[in-house]
Each structure stands twice: as C-alpha cells, then as structure tokens.
Amino acid sequence: MAGITRRRFVKSSAAAVAITAAGVRPSRPLAQTGKPYAGTRLKISQVAHAYAVGLLDRLPLFEGQTGIKVEIDQMSFPVLNQREDLELASNSGAYDVMQMIFIRSGRWIGAGWAEPLNPFIDDAKLTDKAALDVGDFVAGAMAPFRRGDTIYALPWLSDSTVVGYRTDLFEKAGYAKFPETFQALQEAAAKIHTRQTAGFVTEDNLHWIFPNWLLSYGGGFFANPPADLTPTFDTPEALKAAEMFTTMLAKYSPPGGIKLDPSIAQAIMHQGKAACFLDGMGNTQHIIDTTKTTLADRMAFTHTPSGPKGHFPQLAVHGYFINKASKNKNAAWEFIKWAAGKDQMLWSALNKGHLACTRSSVLANAQVRQKFTWRGSDLASLHLAVMKRAGEGYMVYRTVPQFPPVGDRVIIAMTAIASGQTNVADGMKSLQKDAEGILEKAGVKINRRG
Amino acid sequence: MSNERGRRRWTVAATTLFILIVLCPVLFIVQMSVRSGLDAFRMPPVLVFRPTVANYVDLVESKFVRSLMNSTVTAVSTTILAMLLGVPAGYAFSRARFRAQRIASLWTLITRMAPPIAFGIPFFLIYKDLGLIDTRIGLVVIYLTFNLSLVIWMMRAFFDSVPRSLEEAAYIDGAGIATAFVKIALPLAAPGLATTAIFTFLLAWNDFFYSLLLTRSEAVTAPVAIVNFMNYESWEWGKVAAAATMIMLPVVALSVVVRKYIVRGLTAGALKG
C-alpha cells in the first residue's frame, strides 16, 4: 500500500480548501443578506401595458431587495398570443414568468404548462400569507385561474366591458341618461346616427363584444360549460342576440365598423365621430385622454345595457404564472408576489393610470376612487361591480380549452352577417355546424342538435 | 409649339398628381410622426401645426434603436452572403451545361414553393435545439435560405443576357473561367447585381414572420418592434409613425443611390436580339 506522498498531500489539501471555499464563500453573504436568489436572472413575458411600465420603473427596488435580475419582454397582444403559445408548446423554458391569457388558461393549465402556486403560497418560508392576501383579489378575477382549490396564476389585469359615451349627443337626442337596455340603445343609436357621427362603435374582437348581447338575451356559447360543451348558436335566443348585435354593427357603426381595432375605435371617439363606445375598461377609459382629444369634457361612463334575461357584462383577466419549464421557480414566485402585490398595484393605479386592477383594496382606495371619477362616473366602482357580477360564474365559457377556435369562428359569423354576406338564420346555422365540428375534432362529446 | 408646351404642362401636372396619390400613405405617416397626440386625430384635421420631434426622441431613447440595428446587421449580412454565394451560382447555371441542370436549378427554388408558415414550426424547433433562437446569426441563416434562390434565378437571367462571345474571346486570349467571370461577365451584369442586391436587402429588411417567430428580445428586428408599440390599451400612434418613417428612410436612401442601376437592371434583356 503506497503511503501518502508530499505531492498528493499538497494536492488534496489544495482541493479541500478550494471545495470548502466554493461551498462556503457564496452562501455566507446570501445567508447574511437574506437574498437566497441573488444572481438569478429571470425572464418575463407580458403584453405592452402601462402596468409593465410601472414594473420597470420600480424594478430597481425589487432587484435591490432580492438580488434577482429581471428582464421584462413587453410585446403587443397578437405577438404575445403567438409567442407564449409556441414557447409553452415547445417546452423551451425561455421565460420564467409568463402572462396567463385567460381564454388560453384552459389549454395551458390542462396541458400542465403552468406550475400550481399553492405549494409556494402555503410555504411559510416562501410566502407571508397576510402580506400576499390572496383573498384581496376579486373573486371574478381569480376564477379563471383556479381549478378547484388549486391556483395557477395571480391576476394583475381585469378588463370589464363598460360604455363610454357622449353626454351631449345623447341629451340632444332626448336621453338624460344612457339607455338601460340593448333595445333602447338601438333606438337611441337610430336617432343619433348620421353620416358624420355614428350611433355606436366597438372593437373588432367580436367574440368578446357579442357575448354582452348573447348572454343578456338568454343565449350562450355552450349548453352547460364546462360539463356540456354542446354549442348553442342556433337557439332562438342566440338568433335574436345576433340580429340585435349585427344591426348595431351594420346600421349604426362608422364605415368599416365591423373591423375596427380598439385603438382606431378610440380614435373615432377622440374625433367625435361616434356617440358611444362599448369595450373593455382598459380601452374605454382612454377616450378621455386629454392629450388626444378636446371632447373629454363631454364624455361619461356607465355599465353595459341589459337584455330580457339580465345584465351580463364581460370580464377578461390576465395574470402571472410560473412556466413549468422554468429552472428558477422560487425566484419566479418572488417576482410574482411583488408584481401582483398590493403595493405595486396601488402604485400603478395612482401613478400609471392602471384602473383595470384586480385587488378590491386598490379599487376601494379613496385616492384611486377620486383619481378615476370623471364627470360623476366612478370608474373604479363600475369596474368592481362588473368583476363581482362576473364572479357569479357565467364567464366560465371563455376558459374551456376549446374556446379560442370557437371564438374565432364566432367572429367570422358576426362579420359575415353584419356585412350582409349571409342572413342571421343561415349565418348562425353555419356557425353551429362548424362549432360542432371544431369540438368533435377536439375530442369533445357533444349532443348534436336537430 | 405652344400646343406642345401646353401638352407638356398637362403631362407634368398629371404626373405630379399621380405621384402625390401614390405617395399619399407615405406622406401621411411622415406628417403624423411629427404631430402631437392631440393634433393627430383632431377633427376637422389641422393642416397647419407646430411640428414636434418628441416621437423620434422617445424612439431613440427606447429599445427601438437596437431593433433597427438588428435589422441593419441582418439585412446587410444576408445581402452580402446571398450575393457572394448566389451570383457565382447564377453564373454557373447560366453558362455550364450538365445533365441535371434543369432539375438542379428547379431544386434551388424548393424553399420558395410553400408559404413561410409551412416552414415556421420546423425551423423553430430546430433553432431551439441549436440555440439559434433570438440570435442575429439565426435570422441571417433563415433569410439566406430563402433569398439565395432569388439571387440565383435573377442573376442567371442577367448573365443569360450577356453575350457568351465576349467571354469566348477572353478564353482565346488565355483567360480562365474565373477571370472571364470577374472581369467580363460581372461588370456587364452590374445593373442586375444592383437590382438583385436591393431586392434581397428589401426582403430581409421587411421580413416580419421569421423575426416574429424566431426572436424574443435580443434579435428583434424593426418590423416586429414597431408592432410592440401597439399597447394593450391604446396604440402609440406617434411612435408607430416615427418608427415607420425610420424604417423607410434607409430603403429610400439606398434606392435613390442605385436607382440608375435598378432601371437598367429592370429593363435589361428587353431589347435582346
């Protein structure tokens, strides 16, 4: 047996010192400063939005506290849709925290691409539950990201459908306040509509706008989502809703009114070329942007009209989730806690004009209420009311995995009917048939009608 | 005489009007880029306004400059590489005679036989594994794949219009193929070179699809960056217009510089005989 030579002893000692140094040296400052994720680099994907600008403004604060380096990729919504879907499907792990687009939540959660957040929330070492206060998120905003008790994302943006309108034009037409029903709105639009000023304008994402009518007239996308996804576009209620809605588009919208991007619809309001704008709060609130219009002092806001079966404003929600393929999940959770935290959301509301908040404490804040009250319209209350109403459960149709292709087909049907390419009965019949085909192809068992 | 002058005036007036109509969208974008947000959509439109460079200042201070740089690097690199590889190939297809010539030249077009979207997912997956996503090199390779066939086919047509007899005379004087190519065929095909280079540059410069698909944040090019000014809540019209103007400028400048060659290149071979 060979003895230990001097050279071997020196080599072994040097190695031992190196290993000890490598093991101990980095951990000391981390432990001392309470920054267990210092040096981690996070990549975030999200839509270009004032909220993201607010995050960027205060990022040095978060980075200073945690030692985590964050890069936020902001992109337009169409780009985000395409890129996130591709990144998740290819399991690339390029982004640690991503934006949960609620109409894709069914597919993404169903495919196991989103990390459940409960283990992070319930771990006292990772989360101060009182500070996070999950219960502060309005139920309607949390609903799309819950599956039973499991939470997959924390919401930071909720877009509620409301109406922004010109008080002077409606008053001139004999309306002291905005019409309460879609029938009354149509009558008012008929009185107001001229070649110069349209009675109504909305955006081109018609599967987002049409349900305001569809549900209010007693119709729906599916028979009983998510249990029964049989499409129900050929019911008398759906046909009536389609007739009412496409009439607004065809007769009382500006030229090209079927295909107006939200920003163009806003510009039409800025120019005074339309009397009212029905869309998400995130879009409608900008019609009073005094850097873009001189008509802001003639505008007000109210809730969407009702139909014979009630009031069904729509709610779109977006949240932050941890990509299952991320290699920095704990650090990602640190970011989400901060980004969707009370402090950041309140700061964004007050400093970045982010009204489409998801926390009730922020919407109830006196300063926020004051900031977002315009000519008597309390936008924060309006928004909160829609979120609470949507929390009753009727929005579940949008989070079934098969919604996106069916929704796209709805846009085609509404466009075809409003542009006169087909009549309501044929258009809806064709929509029903195609929707059945889409669902069956996706393996969904449906009860064929007729 | 006065009749002729009158006719000429009418021609000039009609041509000017036609040019204005054609340039209308461009002029609209340029004037919008120097308007304030309030002036941009004021009704009735304000014709006399105080121009502002605020939109350009915002752009220069944003990541857009990086995107513009990415566009420049990828488009210029693609053009140089495509010309270096494609021009000799075009010459070879024009002059050489071999059995599989027709099939070989047809095969070079294979990448252009389907819409880009057909290749999108395969390229994304391959690039992911090769670590080429979000890199300038990755974009140059993809643009090269699609533009090389264009260069080969365009240059082949230009070389076809150069009489072979000139090169044959050079061979008799002792020149080799390389000398004949560089000193005789290439100078005579100069207008074609300029035209082909411009087209190649434009295709790479204006590409949206592959840049959208194969980049994330580091290698994003200007056409994709411009879309990201379309915020979720409202578009930044002024920035969009300013960015569009900045994207147009290099192309316009390049076209002006080589317009003489482009006209010659486009009409080359028209009077062959």
Mean pLDDT for all residues in chain A: 91
Whether residue A118 contacts residue A131, with contact meaning beta carbons closer than 8 Å, is answered with: no
* Cα of B132 to nearest chain A Cα, Å: 12
Which of A86, A260, A279 to probe by mutation at the B interface, max B CB count within 10 Å?
A: A86
Q: Do B36 and A291 touch (CB under 8 A)?
A: yes
Pull the structure tokens for residue A428. Answer: 């809806």
* Cα of A272 to nearest chain B Cα, Å: 7
Which of B117, B132, B211, B233 to probe by mutation at the A interface, max A CB count within 10 Å?
A: B233
DSSP string, A285-350: GGGG-TTT-S-GGGEEEEEPPBBTTB----EEEEEEEEBTT-S-HHHHHHHHHHHTSHHHHHHHHH
Q: Which range (A113-122, A201-210, B109-118, B195-204) has the least confidence?
A: B109-118
pLDDT of residue A449: 60
pLDDT at B265 over 80: no
pLDDT at A415 over 50: yes
Q: Phi/psi at B145 (nearest 5 deg)? A: -55, -40
**Contacts A47 to B, Cβ<8 Å:** 231-232
In whole angstroms, what separates CA B158 from the centre of its chain?
A: 19
Mean pLDDT for all residues in chain B: 88
A291 at interface of B, judged by CB pairs closer than 8 A: yes
A93 at interface of B, judged by CB pairs closer than 8 A: no
Section A235-260 average pLDDT: 95
**Contacts A273 to B, Cβ<8 Å:** 43
Q: Do A283 and B233 touch (CB under 8 A)?
A: yes
**Contacts B38 to A, Cβ<8 Å:** 290-294
Confidence of residue B40 (pLDDT cuts 50, 70, 90): confident
pLDDT per residue as tens digits for the range B97-144:
888 888 888 888 887 888 888 888 889 999 999 999 999 999 999 999
CA atoms within 13 A on the CB side of A123: 10
Nearest to B38 among A90, A266, A291 (CB): A291
Q: Which residues of B fall below an 8 Å CB-CB distance to A?
A: 36-38, 40-43, 124-125, 128, 133-134, 212-213, 216-217, 224, 227-235, 237
pLDDT of residue A13: 52
- The three-state secondary structure class of A195 is coil
Q: Between A and B, how many CB-CB pairs are < 8 A?
A: 87
Confidence of residue A16 (pLDDT cuts 50, 70, 90): very low
Which of B32, B232, B234 to probe by mutation at the A interface, max A CB count within 10 Å?
A: B232
A46 to each of A51, A90, A184, how far by Cα in Å?
10, 18, 39
Q: How many residues does chain A have?
A: 450
- The three-state secondary structure class of A415 is helix
pLDDT of residue B254: 83
pLDDT of residue A12: 52
Pull the structure tokens for residue B192. Answer: 């074609």
Nearest C-alpha neighbor of A397 from the set A231, A246, A243, A280: A231
Which of A72, A162, A194, A271 to probe by mutation at the B interface, max B CB count within 10 Å?
A: A271
pLDDT at A104 over 50: yes
Section B223-251 average pLDDT: 88
pLDDT of residue B268: 59
Q: Do B227 and A272 touch (CB under 8 A)?
A: no
pTM, entire model: 0.81
Nearest to B228 among A71, A79, A86 (CB): A79
pLDDT per residue as tens digits for the range B139-168:
999 999 889 999 999 999 999 988 989 899
User: A327: buried, middle or exposed (CB in 10 Å: 19+, 13-18, 0-12)?
Assistant: exposed
In SS3 terms, A337-389 reads as HHHCCHHHHHHHHHHHCCCCCCEHHHHHCHHHHHHCEECCEEHHHHHHHHHHH
pLDDT per residue as tens digits for the range A268-298:
999 999 999 999 998 999 999 998 899 999 9
Section A388-399 average pLDDT: 92
pLDDT per residue as tens digits for the range B202-215:
999 999 999 999 99
pLDDT at A243 over 90: yes
Report the C-alpha dihedral over residues A195, A198, A199, A202, rounded to 10 degrees: 160
Confidence of residue A21 (pLDDT cuts 50, 70, 90): very low
* Other beta carbons within 10 Å of A344: 22
* Cα of A428 to nearest chain B Cα, Å: 30
pLDDT at A208 over 70: yes
pLDDT of residue A3: 44
A311 at interface of B, judged by CB pairs closer than 8 A: no
C-alpha B253/C-alpha B248 separation (Å) is 9
* Cα of A323 to nearest chain B Cα, Å: 16
Q: Do B128 and A77 touch (CB under 8 A)?
A: no
Pairing of strands A146-147, A150-151: antiparallel
* Cα of B58 to nearest chain A Cα, Å: 14
pLDDT of residue B261: 73
Q: Do A271 and B43 touch (CB under 8 A)?
A: yes
C-alpha A246/C-alpha A236 separation (Å) is 15
pLDDT at A167 over 50: yes
* Other beta carbons within 10 Å of A26: 12
Whether residue B143 contacts residue B218, with contact meaning beta carbons closer than 8 Å, is answered with: no
* Cα of B226 to nearest chain A Cα, Å: 9
**Contacts A293 to B, Cβ<8 Å:** 38, 41
Q: By CA distance, what is A83's nearest residue in B? A: B213
